[in-house]
């Protein structure tokens, strides 16, 4: 038994989906901007929403490799244009999904990108300073367990009166001109801006 665990590394229990994204920094008129993409309205999940390039991590690749591959596929850039230089904090969702975000430079111009129109409607950028000077709006969602009808209450203390723990899930909203950045993208963005502000 001991040999089975000696070299084992732990992972997050219960995660059914692992994703990686890249928060891309570009230079626009000698100023640092963050690049965003608008998801195609034909996408099955989150159509028309603003996001960072990224997607599911394949079994044969690392999270970092996945973030680069997805960026190449979605934005139509080449690997030499991408310089990944660090990780942001992992985002664990209430939906058994983890998102591993990376930060990096894109050494290309928006006009030179050949975006994959099946996944990306458009791309745009916003100066980093805008997010430093404009905090997001925050609205909380209550997260509480709702057992299925056949849940075996008779097997636990206090049966149907058992007090399950509830949680709070924050939703952040950044408003810029006609763009609304919210959801997972806004949480990752907020984490980056806080880390960036601490060191600059």
Q: Is residue 39 part of a domain?
A: yes
Cα of first residue to Cα of last residue in the chain, in angstroms, is 50
pLDDT digits (tens, 9 = 90+) for 90-123: 999 888 999 999 999 999 999 889 999 999 999 9
pLDDT digits (tens, 9 = 90+) for 74-95: 999 999 999 999 999 999 988 8
Secondary structure (3-state) at 185:
helix
Q: What local confidence, expressed as pLDDT, does residue 42 receive?
A: 85
Number of domains in the chain: 1
Q: What local confidence, expressed as pLDDT, does residue 200 receive?
A: 75
Q: Is residue 156 part of a domain?
A: no
pLDDT digits (tens, 9 = 90+) for 145-183: 999 999 999 999 999 999 999 999 999 999 999 999 999
Domain boundaries, position 79: 13-143+162-198
Token duo for residue 153? 């209450």
According to DSSP, residue 59 is labeled: T
Average pLDDT over residues 37-60: 91
Q: What local confidence, expressed as pLDDT, does residue 45 receive?
A: 81
Q: Is residue 32 part of a domain?
A: yes
85 CB-near residues (< 8 Å, 6+ apart)? 103, 104, 105
CATH of the domain at 68: 3.90.79.10
Say if residues 108 and 128 touch (Cβ distance below 8 Å): no
How far is Cα 119 from Cα 52, in angstroms, rounded to an integer?
12
Average pLDDT over residues 5-24: 92
């Amino acid at each position: 038994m001991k040999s089975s665990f000696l070299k084992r590394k732990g992972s997050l229990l219960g995660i059914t989906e692992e994703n990686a994204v890249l928060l891309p920094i570009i230079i626009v008129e000698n100023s640092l901007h963050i690049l965003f993409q608008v998801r195609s309205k034909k996408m099955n999940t989150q159509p028309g929403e603003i996001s960072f390039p990224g997607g599911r991590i394949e079994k044969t690749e690392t999270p970092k490799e996945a973030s680069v591959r997805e960026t190449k596929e979605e934005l139509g850039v080449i690997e030499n244009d991408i310089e990944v230089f660090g990780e942001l904090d992992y985002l664990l969702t209430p939906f058994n999904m983890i998102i591993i975000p990376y930060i990096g430079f894109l050494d290309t111009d928006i006009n030179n990108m050949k975006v994959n129109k099946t996944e990306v409607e458009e791309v745009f950028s916003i100066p980093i300073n805008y997010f430093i000077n404009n905090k997001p709006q925050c609205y909380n969602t209550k997260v509480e367990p709702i057992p299925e009808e056949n849940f075996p209450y008779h097997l636990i203390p206090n049966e149907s009166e058992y007090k399950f723990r509830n949680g709070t899930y924050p939703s952040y909203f950044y408003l810029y001109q006609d763009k609304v950045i919210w959801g997972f993208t806004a949480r990752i963005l907020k984490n980056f801006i806080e880390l960036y502000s601490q060191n600059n």
